[in-house]
Structure formats: structure tokens, C-alpha cells
Chain A
Amino acid sequence: MHDKSAHAARHRVPPTGFIRKYIFSTDHKVIGEQYYGLALAAVFIGMVLSWIMRIHLAWPAAAIPGMQLLFKNGAPGGVLTPEYYLQLMTMHGTIMVFFVLTTAPLAGFGNYFLPIQVGAEDMPFPRLNMLSFWVTFGAFLVAIAAFFVPQGPPLSGWTAYAPLSALGEVAGPGQGTGQVLWAVSIAIFCVGQLLGTLNFISATLDMRCQGMGLMRLPLTVWAWFITACISLTAFAVLMPACILLVLDHVAGTSFFVPSNLVVNDQLQPHAGGSTLLWQHLFWFFGHPEVYIAIVPAMGIVSHVLITNMRRPLLSHKAIIYSMVAIAFLSYMVYGHHMFVSGMNPYSSIAFSLPTLAITIPSTIMVLIWIGSLYGSKLRINTASLFALGFISMFVSGGITGFFLAQPSLDIMLHATYFVVGHFHLVMAVAALFGIFAGTYFWFPKVTGRMMNETLGKVHFWFTFVGAYCIFMPFHYLGMAGNVRRYQAFVDDFMAPLMPVHKFITIAALITGAAQLIFLYNLIHSRFWGELAPQNPWEGTSLEWSIPSPPPFDNFAGKLPVVYHDPYQYDIEGATNDYVMQDSPASINSVRGEK
């Protein structure tokens, strides 16, 4: 029942003018690229911060040239003070977790490809989508502003535990204005993400083209949809937490600060608050957050591997159900970050059991990937290499999670480098590999040009070997008792570990430098890369049925009709070994799929 004239009258007109096309654009593709660009800028800032941290850890007395320009008090003569190390560490974590890992895999790739893969012209609420990017960008600016206030950024870690984070300036440099800016930035970021989830969920449920049933969606769409559902509930809890923290700073309330606290010989004016409350609120968000970071990468890796293996996974449904199970369980495990916080020990059992349980769907997914790879003739290109690297990193990092899940072991390992190694491998590096795989895979579609394969493979090997050189030793350090969030290791049991730290620092600097190969490849290929065919990887999903780069309304006014499941590879009798989703040819498959 449609009024054709009204429908035609509302047909979307491409924007004109530089500002409407590239700056304040409601086109989901431009918004996706903007998020990716934001993540790219953020990852380089975060990486530089990590270099400074690593240099200081290996050579604490060394003067790092230029640091005194950024913050006179924090780095006199270029030598970092202990507090400034913690301040840089806090911003490293904050920028990486929020502005890289939450932004690129979901908002970056998802915004660009979800509407195309479901067969829609755009997201259902394009103006809200544009707003979500600019709100996120605003949050980024507020976070960066923390570097430039007189006392610098906060030093309480990206986890901002109370009471340190709630006391104000008396607690240390950066804990006044810096901490407030941090909390405000994160609260704004939450709003941006919530606006994004509106679009993702509505697009997946309501904007699918004709023939695109839920089980015909590519795994990337499932991953983005599930991540958006997690994101919805998780960020909606972080925002109140940040609001309460800001109120403790500026309004004199005592949500998180207990009574009778003496800091620097001054009795603090707050009373009655609960420090554990912050941890509960934060980790209720914080654990689902790590799945927000990794689930899109799981979807991208599945998609990339299937296309390059030329056959579907052993079980499409098991991947979907596993991602749903991970999302569901992610809310029940958050207390495993709090085993040594002083909570009732029996609650440790209540959190440890689901934590061990959540390894089951993760393992199912890994076994499906590896099992599907067995016997396949995987096409080796940079995207598939990074996908394989993702599996490697996810397994390496995930296995140490089994140990940390047990309170008895966590007592020894909590707040050591073991934890730092665990989350860097399983979340940071694995998700980053997923982002790289997605970049190399979809770059031809977005730009119409291919990335340089040789440079890509060099980038992969440097990053793969380098990441292991950096993060594997962390586990050894942790087991040897190396405490985390320390700026120097002078105690008897940690001083002998300095050679390991020096090795890690050198590996970090080399691996970081290798990322410049990626940056060069990205920029050079964008302008001078070899022109790409419409479907260079011979993929079946809808993004490969449209030109590269896609037209303004994705399908040039003619929405696709989908006839097939997403991964119809290894089809005899077809012109190629695959059948695209919108191909009208019918298939009789022995497996009973259509």
C-alpha cells in the first residue's frame, strides 16, 4: 500500500557541495570512513603514547626529547615523572579502548557495509547517524584536551577506580580538571555510541531487502547486530557512572568517596560513598565492552576466511549462536575483574563459573574456523593472513583467560603483567588484526583500487612476529611477579626482569615503525593503486554486486532481491565456483540449502 508519487517524491538526492558531501554527510559510507579516519588518528596517538611508556619503562632515567614541551611539570628536562607515566598510561588505555577498538570495527566497518550487505540504501536514521559521528568526534576532542590543561590528563587508569578518581586535585596531578574532562569525554562518547546502535539494530531488523531473511545475512551483519545489542545496554550504564563521577568532582557529592579518608594529611570532605560501587558500574559496562571490541572482528574474520577458502564454515548457525551466547554471558562475568576487590568470596564463584562458561562459545568458534580451514585451499592474500593471525592471537590471548578466570590463580596474577599480556593479545592485537583484515579486504570496494600485496604481506609479518615479541614475554613477567601500572621496577624481585623489558621496548618500537608501511600503503594505494574490479575476491555477499566505489544510494535506485544464503561457494555447474546472493539462478544443493 504505497503512494507511488509520494515515494518517488522522497527519492534521495545526492548532496552537492564539499561540506554536505564530505563533512556533514548523512551518507553511511562517508560516516563509516569518518569513523575509520578517527580511529586511525587515535591509534597513532595511542601508539606514540605506548612508545613513550615503553622507553620510560626500559630506561626510566632517560630524557625523551620533546616531552617537556607537552607538560613542563610532568617531564622536566624530558624525563617522565612517575605521575606523568601513569597519566600517559591512562590516556593510552582510554584512547585505544574507546576511540580505536570500539570505533573502527563496529562504527567504521559496520556503518559502511551493514546497509549494503542487508540490501538497503542507507541506515534508517541517517541524520542520527551523522550526529553519532560528530558526537564521538567531540568526545575525542574533549579527551585530547585533557593533555593540555595545566595539570595534565588523569592518572587513575582507563578504569578510573574510585576513590582516586573521585577526590579531585588532592589525589595527584591531573585528578582535577583532567579527570573531569575524561569523565565528560566518556559520557559524550556513550551518547554517540547509543545513537549508533539505534541505526544498527533498526537496519538489521527492518531494512533488509526482499529475500534477505535473517539466516541469509552474512556473518558480518550478525556480528555487528549482536555487538550493537551489547553496546546498547553496556554504554547506557557507563554514562550514569561518569555522571556520578563528575558530580563527585564538581558538586561535592559523595557517591564514590568513603568517610574518614585522609589524603596528603588532609581529611577529605566527602563521606559515606562506596568505592566498590564505581567498580560494579564500570565493569558492568567494561566486560561487555571487550566483547564489543572483539565480536565485529570475529564476524569480519569469518567473512574474509569463507571468501578465501571458497567454501562456507562447518556450521553457519553455530557461529551465530556462539556470538549470541557470548553476548548473553558477557553480562554475568564482570566480577572477574573484581576477585581481589574485597567482595564476598562466594561471589567469586558466581562470577568464575560464567567466565569459564563463556570460553565455550569462544572455543566453538575457534574450532569451527580451524576445522573449516582444514582441507580447504585457502587463498593467501594479506586479508586472509590477517584473518589467520586473528585466530592465532585470539587463541593465545584467550588461553590465559582460563587461568585468570579462577579466583585462586587470579589472586597471584591480578594487577601483574600477566593480565596486561592477556588483554593485549586477546582484545587489542586480535581486534587490530580483524581491522587490518577488513581493511585489506574491503579497500578495493571503498576506493576502487587494490592495496599493494607485497607491502601488505611485509606489514603482516612484521606485525605478527612483532606483536608476539612484545606481548608473549608479558606473561612471563607477570608470573615472575612484575606488577602493572608501575613506572619503574626497582624492587628486588623485579629488577632482574629489566632485560626482558628492554627487549619488549625494542620490539615495540620496531613493530610500531612497521605500521608506517601500512599507512604508506593505505595512502599511496588510495590515489595510485591498481584499479580494482568490482569483485576482486569473488565474494558472494551484496557488497560485491555493486560498483567500486559504490554509488551514492548503493544500488543505483534498484534495490536487490536476494535468492540465496550468503556463502554459496564450491558450486558445480556455476560459471564460477560461487553464486552471488542476488543471482536469480537456482541451486539444488545436497546440503539442502537454497
Chain B
Amino acid sequence: MTTTVHERQQPDSARYPAQADFGGHGNVTSESGSWRAVEDRSPASRTGIWVGLAAITMTFAAFTSAMVVRQGSSTDWRHFALPSVLYLNTAILLTSSVTLELARQRVRWLARGLQPRCAIPLLWLYVTLGLGWLFVVGQYAAWLKLRSEGLYLATSPSSSFFYLFTAIHAIHVLGGLAGLMVVVWRFSRPVPTLRLSTVSTVSYYWHFMDLLWVYLLFLLWTRI
């Protein structure tokens, strides 16, 4: 195999665009109290959140298949009516997604310098947080309702899976709430240190919790 070595060559950067920057570099800076931001594409955190959502999807897929097999493997499946508070919780969660999008939009406006006041995005973030906590409380209320009917974790396989799905989803929602609280905290500091990528990541996660809940509600509604 014959090869020759030539002079220095230029990197063909058109073919290989630079992706060198350490993901999520800071883009909210403050000089003398005002703050200014630049677009932060931060692909690493976007890939990361999709990877995380894929893992969560697989987890719930495994639980779903366990439920389907368990239902078919024996005749002891006891159907029961879903507590009606679940539907209210669904509405609360969907609304929280809307408010989160409103908050995110306003953070982006602020980053572009279009809206001078900080307060409004913060308000929508607090509303989202509040609705999120309300959802978790509502889920707990659903469990209390089932308890009052004598349906506990081990009472029947249907109640087992009801508690399992709602509890695991609620744990993930609590994780999402933690992320939202990080966003609020970083935004509320005297010098905001919030990155747009953080807001995007938390939003993707939160909307996914929403979609996941809709799927779970459908699953429980058809099978429980």
C-alpha cells in the first residue's frame, strides 16, 4: 500500500463542525445587575435527557408487560373502579405542562432581552411547581380512597399494579419537581445562573411525565 505524506492540511470543518465546547457552558452572565444571555444549544444535555427518557420508557414497558402476563396467568384479577380524583389529577398535570411552557417561553424572551422584568417567568414556574405538588397530593388522595375500599397493595393483583404504577410514576414526578426547584432557585438568585439548557431539559422531562401519566391512565382504565 503506497501512501505519501504532504504538507499541512486544513481540517475540513464544513464536514465536521466543531462540537468541542464542554456541554452546557454558562450563558447567563450578569454585569452590574442586568443580565444578558446567549443561545445555548448544549446538545449534550439534550441527548442526555432523551437517553434518560428512553430508560424510563423501558422500565414502564417492562412493568406493562408484567401486568399483561400477570393478568392472563390466573383468574384472580379483581376489577375495580378507578378513583375519580385521578381524572382531576390528570387535568392538573396537563395544566402544569402548559404553565411550564409559558414559563419557558418567558425565560427565552428574557434571555433575548425582550422583556425586562424577571418576575413573570418566576410566577409561572411557581404555578407549575404548585400544580406538580398538587398532583402528587392528589395521587395520595387516590390511594387513601382505595384504602377506604379495602384495596391494599397485596389485596389483589389489580390493586398491586395500580399502586405500583402510580407510585413509581409519582416517584419520577418528585424527581421532576426537584429539577423544577433547581430551575427556580437558580433563576431567583441575585445573579441568575440559569442555563437555557437546564430549562429545556427539565421541561422535556416534565412533559414526558405528563405523557407517561396519560398512557398509564389509559392502561389502568382499560385493564383495572
Q: Do A and B come from one complex?
A: yes
A208 to B23 alpha-carbon distance, docked (Å): 11
Interface residues of A in 314-342 (CB under 8 A from B): none
Complex alpha-carbon distance, A2 and B21, angstroms: 9
Q: How far is the CA of A588 from the CA of B2 in the complex (A)?
A: 8
Contact check: which of B2, B11, B59, B154 meets A252 at CB < 8 Å?
B154
Q: What does DSSP make chain B's interface, helix, strand, loop or mixed?
A: mixed
**A202 CA / B3 CA spacing, docked (Å):** 35
Q: A198-B48, A198-B51 are in contact. Are A253 and B2 (CB under 8 A)?
A: no
Residues A2 and B20 in contact, CB atoms below 8 Å apart: no
Indicate the member of B4, B8, B57, B75 with the most A CB atoms within 10 Å.
B4
- Residues from chain A with a CB closer than 8 A to the CB of B48 are 124-125, 198-199, 201-202
In chain B, positions 152-210 with a C-beta closer than 8 Å to chain A are 153-154, 157, 160, 164, 168
Q: Which residues of A contact B7 (CB under 8 A)?
A: 585-586
Given the known inter-chain contacts A1-B39, A207-B44, A247-B160, please indicate yes or no for A9 contacting B26, CB distance below 8 A.
yes
Partner-binding segment picked from B63-71, B102-110, B143-151: B63-71
Q: Do B1 and A590 touch across chains, with their CB atoms under 8 A apart?
A: yes
Once A210-B13, A272-B157, A277-B66 are accepted as A-B contacts, the answer to whether A584 and B8 lie under 8 Å apart by CB is yes
Known A124-B48, A201-B47, A240-B62; judge A12-B22 contact (CB<8 A): yes
Partner of B58, one of A121, A233, A253: A233
Interface residues of A in 527-562 (CB under 8 A from B): 559, 561-562
- Contact residues in A for B39 (Cβ distance below 8 Å): 1
Interface pair B58/A584, CB less than 8 Å apart:
no
A525 to nearest B CB, angstroms? 33
- Complex formed: what's the CA distance from A375 to B15 in Å? 35
* Pair A209/B20 contact, Cβ less than 8 Å: yes
Min CB gap A208→B, angstroms: 6
> A274, B73: Cβ atoms under 8 Å?
yes
Q: Is A251 an interface residue (CB 8 A)?
A: yes
Contact A588 B11 (CB under 8 A): no
Does B8 contact A272, Cβ atoms closer than 8 Å?
A: no
A1-B131 Cα distance, complex, nearest whole Å: 36
Size of the B side of the interface (Cβ < 8 Å), in residues, is 58
CB nearest neighbor in B for A255 = B70
User: Is the beta-carbon distance between A3 and B70 smaller than 8 angstroms?
Assistant: no
A305 CB to nearest B CB, Å: 18
The answer to whether B23 touches A10 (Cβ under 8 A) is no
Within 8 Å CB of B32, what residues of A?
none
A171 CB-CB contact with B under 8 Å: no
Contact A124 B44, beta carbon cutoff 8 Å: yes
Complex CA gap A208/B11 in Å reads: 14
- A197: interface (CB < 8 Å): yes
CB-based A-B contact count at 8 angstroms? 211
Q: Which of B3, B13, B69 contacts A588 (CB 8 A)?
A: B3
Query: Are the CB atoms of B62 and A281 closer together than 8 Å?
Result: yes
Select from chain A the residue with minimum beta-carbon distance to B39: A1
In the complex, which residues of chain B have a beta carbon less than 8 angstroms from the beta carbon of A251? 153-154, 160
Residue A271 at the chain B interface, CB threshold 8 Å: yes
* Residue-wise interface mask of A (116-157) relative to B, using a CB-CB cutoff of 8 A (1 in contact, 0 not): 000111101100000000000000000000000000000000
Give A241 to B15 CA distance when docked, in angstroms: 45
**Cα of A239 to Cα of B15 in the assembled complex, Å:** 41
Chain A hits for B18, CB < 8 A: 209-210
Q: Which of A360-368, A447-455, A568-576 contacts B (4 or more CB under 8 A)?
A: A568-576
Residues on the B chain within 8 Å of A587, using CB: 3-6
CB of A585 within 8 A of CB of B21, answer no
In the complex, the answer to whether B5 meets A202 with C-beta atoms within 8 Å is no
Which residues of chain A are near B62, meaning CB under 8 Å? Answer: 236-237, 239-241, 281, 284
CA distance A202 to B20 in the complex (A): 13
Beta-carbon contact of A273 and B70 below 8 Å: yes
Interface residue B95 (Cβ < 8 Å from any Cβ of A): no
A227 nearest CB across to chain B (Å): 14
Task: State whether the Cβ of B52 lies closer than 8 Å to any Cβ in chain A.
Answer: yes
A247 and B154 CA atoms in complex are apart in Å by 9
Contacts of A12 in B (CB 8 A): 22
Type the 1/0 row for A575-594, where 1 means its CB is closer than 8 Å to any CB of B: 00001000011111111000
**B21 contacts across to A, CB distance below 8 A:** 2, 7
B140: shortest Cβ distance to chain A, in Å?
A: 18
Distance A591 CA – B73 CA, assembled complex (angstroms): 60
CB neighbours (8 Å) of B55 from chain A are 194, 197, 232-233, 235-236
Closest beta carbon of chain B to A581's beta carbon, Å: 12
Proximity string of chain A (434-478) to chain B, C-beta cutoff 8 Å, 1 when within and 0 when not: 000000000000000000000000000000000000000000000
A211–B17 alpha-carbon span in the complex (Å): 7
**B 33-57 binary contact with A (CB < 8 Å = 1; else 0):** 0000011000111011001101111
- Central interface residue in A194, A203, A240, A584, by most chain B CB within 10 Å: A240
Residues of A within 8 A of B90 (CB): none
Question: Is A272's CB under 8 angstroms from B20's CB?
Answer: no
Interchain CB contact (< 8 A) of B69 among A10, A239, A274, A585: A274
Q: Is B223 an interface residue (CB 8 A)?
A: no
Q: Is B19 in contact with chain A by the CB < 8 A criterion? A: yes
Please tell me which one of the listed residues B22, B27, B45, B51 contacts residue A197 in the complex, with CB atoms under 8 A apart: B51
Q: Mark A1-36, 1 if CB is under 8 A from B, else 0.
A: 111011101101000000000000000000000000
A206 CB contacts on chain B under 8 angstroms: 19, 23, 43-44, 47
CA distance in complex: A571, B1 (Å): 8
B-side contacts of A208, CB under 8 Å: 19
Contact partners of B47 in chain A: CB under 8 A? 124, 201-202, 205-206
C-alpha spacing A197/B56, complex, angstroms: 13
Asked if A124 and B23 sit within 8 Å, CB to CB, the answer is yes
Instruction: Write the nearest CB–CB distance from A117 to chain B, whole angstroms.
Output: 15
In B68-116, the 8 Å CB interface with A consists of 69-70, 73-76
Q: Using Cβ atoms and an 8 Å threshold, which residues of chain B touch A207?
A: 19, 22-23, 44
A3, B9: Cα distance in complex, Å: 29
Nearest-neighbour CB distance to chain A for B30, whole angstroms, equals 10
Closest to B38 in A: A3
Q: Is A418 in contact with chain B by the CB < 8 A criterion?
A: no
25 contacts between A and B (CB under 8 A): A6-B25, A6-B27, A7-B21, A125-B48, A194-B52, A199-B48, A201-B51, A206-B23, A210-B19, A233-B54, A243-B164, A251-B154, A251-B160, A253-B153, A273-B70, A273-B73, A274-B73, A276-B73, A277-B70, A281-B65, A562-B16, A571-B5, A585-B9, A586-B6, A588-B4
6 new A-B contacts at CB < 8 Å, known A205-B47, A253-B154: A197-B51, A206-B43, A210-B19, A236-B59, A258-B73, A259-B74
Q: What 6 A-B pairs have minimum CB-CB distances, sorted nearest first?
A: A272-B74, A236-B58, A586-B9, A124-B44, A252-B154, A274-B73
Query: Which positions in A face B, CB cutoff 8 Å?
Result: 1-3, 5-7, 9-10, 12, 119-122, 124-125, 194, 197-199, 201-203, 205-213, 232-233, 235-237, 239-241, 243-244, 247, 251-255, 258-259, 271-274, 276-277, 280-281, 284, 559, 561-563, 570-574, 579, 584-591
Residues of B bordering A, CB below 8 Å: 1-9, 11-13, 15-27, 29, 38-39, 43-45, 47-48, 51-52, 54-59, 61-63, 65-66, 69-70, 73-76, 153-154, 157, 160, 164, 168
